[in-house]
Structure 1
Amino acid sequence: MTALGQRTPTYPFTALVGADELTTALLLSAISPEIGGVLVRGEKGTAKSTAVRALAAVLPEQHVALGCRFGCDPDRAEDCPDGPHDGPGTTRPARLVELPVGATEDRVVGSLDLRRALGEGEAAYQPGLLAEAHRGILYVDEVNLLHDHLVDVLLDAAAMGRNTVERDGVSISHPARITLVGTMNPEEGELRPQLLDRFGLTVHVAASRDPRERAEVVRRRLAADADPVGFAAGYERSEVELTERIAAARAGVREVVLDERTLRTVARVCAGFDVDGLRADIVTARTAVAHAAWQGRTHVTREDVRAAALLALPHRRRRSPFDAPGLDEDLLDRLLDEEPEDDPPGGDEPEDGPDEQPDGGRPDEQQRDGDGRTTGGPPPTPDGSDDTPPSGRADSPPEPSAEDHGAQDPDDPSDAQAAPPAGGAAAPVGTASAQAPYRARRLELAGVGSGPSGRRSPALTPRGRVVGTHPAGQEPAGAPVHVTATLRASAARRAARTGPARVTGDDLRHAVTRGREANLVLLAVDASGSMAARRRMGEVKTAVLSLLLDAYQRRDRVGLVTFRGAQTEVALPPTSSVDAAAARLAQLPHGGRTPLAEGLTQVARVVAREQVRDRHQRALVVVVTDGRATAGADALARARVVADGWSRAVPTAQTVVVDCESGRFRMGLAADLARRMGAEHIALEQVAASGLVEIVTDRTGTARNGRSAA
């Protein structure tokens, strides 16, 4: 047992089992901090946090300037507010600073020292977590749940290597070279693309399926919990040896040679995977150099480039949150094995036409053998597809309507056959495939809310445009100090000759700031046979997928309720993981009758339950249906009863009905449903932002032509 007051040692880094890729990524980032840190993705219970916290214990000590609040290196000239740094300096252990998900911006960037400001009248700066993490590791557990305003702060610091504070009468800039390490569970939502790209390396960890390895993990964890000191002592020698090896690799990085041929290989690999920008090339090159130093080599080899690409590229080739992370290792090996082309004499391009292939084809033509494998031309795209534009986009010709194929029973599941998806593979019977998502129109709630910060609806948020001040003593937690209003209140009090002649706590005023909030977006999808009778289900899924992408970009929580046949189902309880919603949507079958009343009742239950869980988060309900109700006796009458009482059932939610009815003759049932629910009514074609533009353009042109004719 640990003695009272003695600090419990961290789990040893060298005691980790079966986490080779994770430990390699962390060590390479420690050897070369310029790589940009590590993002660790994985399911819960896979030792992500344990590994990161254990890393700090094996890092070599740092040489720091005496009396510097920011821990600057005295041997390096830095623009530091506490500089210049003269003298021998001292050493300290490498720092691991944890940034809590619920931290305030003042705590992260630093702020006005209110104690000194109110007591001594001095506008002094109080350093934050970025200052503490300078030259160390800034660790964010559950980084995908970090508030947007903190993400912006991290982006600035990671890009500039400095933290600049201009607020509350404080103007200061200090060095903040941080190694950003984040852990996350993808089921809880994805990262913003800007922050994702700032992580140099990414690793996906999963629990081993080997019983022996799993048993060894449990054995060591139980031993560490029973006797932390004794367990750590058993790995002390290996920890010291690892520290010495890290120090040697850091010194050896400067001696590693990355020759021109290998550099071209790095560029060819990054281009072959079609990653955006050139940051991937830079990070891959730096990682390959660090890997060579870690292996004790002085030249970068093919093995180093391969290891670097597997860590630096997977998260950079994702185009949307619905794309699965990962790298095609077969394509990587083909790109690595290609012979780089030498420059022509004089550095000029050859004037001859493109070289002919042995079979007479040109280099830009794909040649395939009997098994369908590529034998010539440029490498295939990372997902294995060719360059043919995908079908089904917003600008693609519409699919033939039901009238072109004969009459169908809208509620007969046998008629609800889906068109085969792009690529030629037949879709399962009764399951339509979504096409590429498009940019959806903005759907936002009316009024001003007070929910969590996001990008959808107007709200009073901790950060945004200042629109007033809170009454003294009634400010909410986290409200920023309004310096001007505080000084004005202090001056008014002194003019009235009450209280001391300085700013006091009673003079403090806090700003009312207005921005945008995230909402609960609950999608209720009618998957009955009538939705697919005119081959509309593929279009419906595409529209819902587009709304999910919009929800991801606006930081919303999403839920999915489906109804078909004789049942309703909460296919996905409200979550921040839109890719989980997309996966459930892809598996959604269709067919059968329409239990519309039951579906709306289920939606009302989910909204009410979520309102109890978080009364500040407002809900946006999107009902995707053609308005038919055919399941059970008096189905349409029961649906209308539920719709008439909708505003009483969900008083805090706002609703949009997406009308999926098509064909020459329409019954207008969805429009009637929207009127009864007090909801906004839009046609399926109007979900796309481009569709709205076309509608407005058409109407404007018609009006203009009418005036011209008059």
Structure 2
Amino acid sequence: MSTAASPLDDAMLAARLCAIDPVGLGGMILRGGGEVRDRVVARLHADLPEGAPLRRIPAHVDDDALLGGLDLGATLALGRPVRQRGVLAAADGGIVVLPMAERIAEATAARITAVLDARAIDAVPVRVAVVAFDDGVEDEAPPQALVERLAFRIDLSECRGATDTVPSDAEAKAADGDAPAIDPCAILSGAAAALGIDSARAALFALRAARAAAALAGRSEPDEDDVILAIRLVLGPRATRLPAPPQDDSATDAPPPPPESESSEEERGAPEPPDDVVLAAALAALPRDVLERLAAGAARRGVNRARGAGERRKSPLRGRPLGARAGIPRGGLRLSLIDTLRAAAPWQKLRERGGGAIRIRRDDLRIRRFETRGETVTIFAVDASGSAAAARLAEAKGAVELLLAQAYVKRAQVALVAFRGVGAEVLLPPTRSLTRARRALADLPGGGGTPLATGLDAARTLAEAARARGRTPFLVVLTDGRGNIAADGSAVRERAERDAEQAARAIGQAGIGAVFLDTAARPRPEGARLALAMGARYLPLPRADAAAMHRAVSAAQAA
């Protein structure tokens, strides 16, 4: 059995499995790929029964176009309500494609998932498979509710001009020999637990995928190869941890017998762990980037995080459209004429005739809604005191320049606050200009005491000013956590520590995202306590260079 397969091979195979059980598997998410993913969709469409519809859903679709509703043009022309079919109903028995799924509204995703769960719209059966295209950058990803209801997630970003070869049925049947009978339910549930997957839906998807693979190969029941394939295609992309290595069979000490209560649980049918051979083969077949991501402890992809773009905010005037709601167009709110007419059209015959052809009342008025993404400002608060100040500032300078190189892509800004002696200074206001940053960072002073409380207060003030301007601040504190200058300028260590903890607590209460980089040669409890008070992630980096700091900050923003 070959465990090595290209992403395109996996995508083509997943398309064939979806064609066998489109409703049970839900569909797939294809990231990147350009024209390659169009061939995957074509493969899925070709494997469905002849005449199966294929529909596309725009990211900003409204409820009437999605689920069906009033046809405004026909209603106004005929003078009576005329309903139209939605895209989902029109795609019954076929496929719906979601281009730019990372930009779809949460409300729209909720309506699609409701149809996938109920398999009906207003008690009318609707059975479709969903193919979502993910073109998100950094933090952008499809809504999690939709991601959880699609069996396959395949990254085609590296597929350029590959051929769409698919294993033939004859090749699949060649592996069908006198394979021993297995329990796919127990193996898949155990594999899901070993990979840290807490969703029961994932194990059910894997079981359906294994049965579809068996049907594709002409078998009535899944064998070991089918189970491994399901683990690779369904459970692998959802993994949140590496499975524990198998125990050494050469151990001489036998484990003690389980208590009677544990034995009774096993007799009641508790899931057994997967076979070591099956799990080892599945682990070897996992995508390489998944193993690297899990080994590094990175967060699972698929959840929106504020890395480049900031938090989402409602806006009455500009941004991404969210649809209309009932309301009065005043105070800067904009009237949605089409939605207003659509709300008034069904009631025309019941209303007394007025001066116009269309009778609109206050309750019919609809206003437009928009959503914007705030710009992120990463604020470095750097300890410039003591003999190691020059090295710390050089590291901060390198990290700032690395972040600035990605500022245009991430729509982010950076700022720098340095504290030493008895005060703090904003050396670099929020900016994207690499030239300005290099000029400000060229000659930085160092030495003196450590006014940690003053530095934290200055960073918090800058963060709150950025938030007042509609930006999303993120604070990076680079210090050893040992303040010796109090907020009033006195050199009393006990008072300086209390002031620093109070300043850190103020940052946490303000809800400012932060990471605390402890640069002490031997990290002590002071840094961890300050990070806890700030609600920040604590990273002891006694020998961090600019690249290590950049990676740490990026991982902390994504976590």
TM-score range, shorter chain: 0.5 to 0.7
Query: Out of 106, 115, 120, which is 2:64 matched to?
Result: 106
Matches within 5 A, 1:514-663: 517-526=371-380, 528-530=382-384, 569-573=403-407, 596-602=426-432, 632=443, 653=470, 663=483
- Corresponding residue number in structure 2 for 1:21: 10
- Corresponding residue number in structure 1 for 2:176: none
Q: Distance in 1 between matches of 2:262 and 2:463?
A: 70
- Corresponding residue number in structure 2 for 1:309: 231
Query: Out of 17, 20, 29, which is 1:31 matched to?
Result: 20
Q: Distance in 1 between matches of 2:409 and 2:373?
A: 11
- Corresponding residue number in structure 2 for 1:254: none
- Corresponding residue number in structure 1 for 2:317: 450
- Corresponding residue number in structure 1 for 2:48: 59
For the residue of structure 2 that corresponds to 1:207, the secondary structure is coil
Describe the shift of the 1:527–1:654 C-alpha distance in structure 2 as closer, same or farther (beyond 3 A): closer
- Corresponding residue number in structure 2 for 1:141: 99
Residue-by-residue CA offset, 1:182-204 (whole Å, 9 max, x unaligned)? 12135352222221111112222
State the TM-score, normalized to the length of structure 1: 0.46
For the residue of structure 2 that corresponds to 1:519, the secondary structure is strand
- Corresponding residue number in structure 1 for 2:196: 274
- Corresponding residue number in structure 2 for 1:361: none
For the residue of structure 2 that corresponds to 1:94, the secondary structure is coil
Preserved contact between residue 481 and residue 508 of structure 1 (Cα < 8 Å): no
**Structure 1 spans left out of the alignment, 5+ residues:** 1-16, 62-92, 165-172, 221-237, 250-256, 319-326, 338-343, 354-363, 365-381, 387-420, 424-432, 454-459, 539-561, 607-628, 636-643, 670-680, 696-710
* CA displacement at 1:304 relative to structure 2: 0.4
- Corresponding residue number in structure 1 for 2:148: 197
Preserved contact between residue 115 and residue 121 of structure 2 (Cα < 8 Å): yes
- Corresponding residue number in structure 1 for 2:335: 475
Preserved contact between residue 66 and residue 87 of structure 2 (Cα < 8 Å): yes
Query: Out of 313, 320, 323, which is 1:462 matched to?
Result: 323
Residue-by-residue CA offset, 1:277-321 (whole Å, 9 max, x unaligned)? 311121111111100010111221011011011111134335xxx
Q: Distance in 1 between matches of 2:155 and 2:399?
A: 39
Preserved contact between residue 483 and residue 509 of structure 1 (Cα < 8 Å): yes
Preserved contact between residue 93 and residue 126 of structure 2 (Cα < 8 Å): yes
Q: Which amino acid aligns with 2:20?
A: I
State the TM-score, normalized to the length of structure 2: 0.57
Q: Does 1:187 align with 2:48?
A: no
* CA displacement at 1:576 relative to structure 2: 7.4
Preserved contact between residue 42 and residue 185 of structure 1 (Cα < 8 Å): yes
Describe the shift of the 1:467–1:566 C-alpha distance in structure 2 as closer, same or farther (beyond 3 A): closer
- Corresponding residue number in structure 1 for 2:509: 686
Q: Distance in 2 between matches of 1:532 and 1:122?
A: 81
Q: Which amino acid aligns with 2:131?
A: V
Residue-by-residue CA offset, 1:390-445 (whole Å, 9 max, x unaligned)? xxxxxxxxxxxxxxxxxxxxxxxxxxxxxxx999xxxxxxxxx99xx9x99xx989
* CA displacement at 1:27 relative to structure 2: 0.6
- Corresponding residue number in structure 2 for 1:175: 125
Describe the shift of the 1:448–1:133 C-alpha distance in structure 2 as closer, same or farther (beyond 3 A): closer
Q: Distance in 2 between matches of 1:385 and 1:55?
A: 30
Larger radius of gyration: 1
Preserved contact between residue 565 and residue 591 of structure 1 (Cα < 8 Å): no
Residue-by-residue CA offset, 1:654-704 (whole Å, 9 max, x unaligned)? 5769695963534599xxxxxxxxxxx98433355999x999xxxxxxxxx
Preserved contact between residue 28 and residue 131 of structure 2 (Cα < 8 Å): yes
Residue-by-residue CA offset, 1:313-365 (whole Å, 9 max, x unaligned)? 134335xxxxxxxx86xx59969x9xxxxxx9xx9963799xxxxxxxxxx9x
Q: Does 1:350 align with 2:266?
A: no
Percent identity for Structure 1 against Structure 2: 19
Q: Distance in 1 between matches of 2:386 and 2:155?
A: 38
Q: Which amino acid aligns with 1:265?
A: I
* CA displacement at 1:509 relative to structure 2: 5.2
Preserved contact between residue 112 and residue 123 of structure 1 (Cα < 8 Å): yes
Preserved contact between residue 21 and residue 212 of structure 2 (Cα < 8 Å): yes
Matches within 5 A, 1:309-328: 309-318=231-240
Matches within 5 A, 1:28-107: 28-45=17-34, 47-61=36-50, 93-107=51-65
Residue-by-residue CA offset, 1:8-67 (whole Å, 9 max, x unaligned)? xxxxxxxxx982111000110110123333334444446112321343234322xxxxxx
Describe the shift of the 1:332–1:657 C-alpha distance in structure 2 as closer, same or farther (beyond 3 A): closer
Query: Out of 665, 678, 701, which is 2:485 matched to?
Result: 665
Q: Which amino acid aligns with 2:202?
A: A
For the residue of structure 2 that corresponds to 1:468, the secondary structure is coil
Describe the shift of the 1:603–1:258 C-alpha distance in structure 2 as closer, same or farther (beyond 3 A): farther
Residue-by-residue CA offset, 1:558-615 (whole Å, 9 max, x unaligned)? xxxx8569968524336679xxx9xx99xxx999999944443437999xxxxxxxxx
Pick which of 298-307 and 647-656 moved more. 647-656
Describe the shift of the 1:304–1:572 C-alpha distance in structure 2 as closer, same or farther (beyond 3 A): same
- Corresponding residue number in structure 2 for 1:207: 158
Q: Distance in 2 between matches of 1:178 and 1:161?
A: 8
- Corresponding residue number in structure 2 for 1:512: 367
Residue-by-residue CA offset, 1:92-125 (whole Å, 9 max, x unaligned)? x111111122333321111112244334443332
* CA displacement at 1:650 relative to structure 2: 12
* CA displacement at 1:484 relative to structure 2: 5.7
Q: Which amino acid aligns with 1:665?
A: I
- Corresponding residue number in structure 1 for 2:458: none
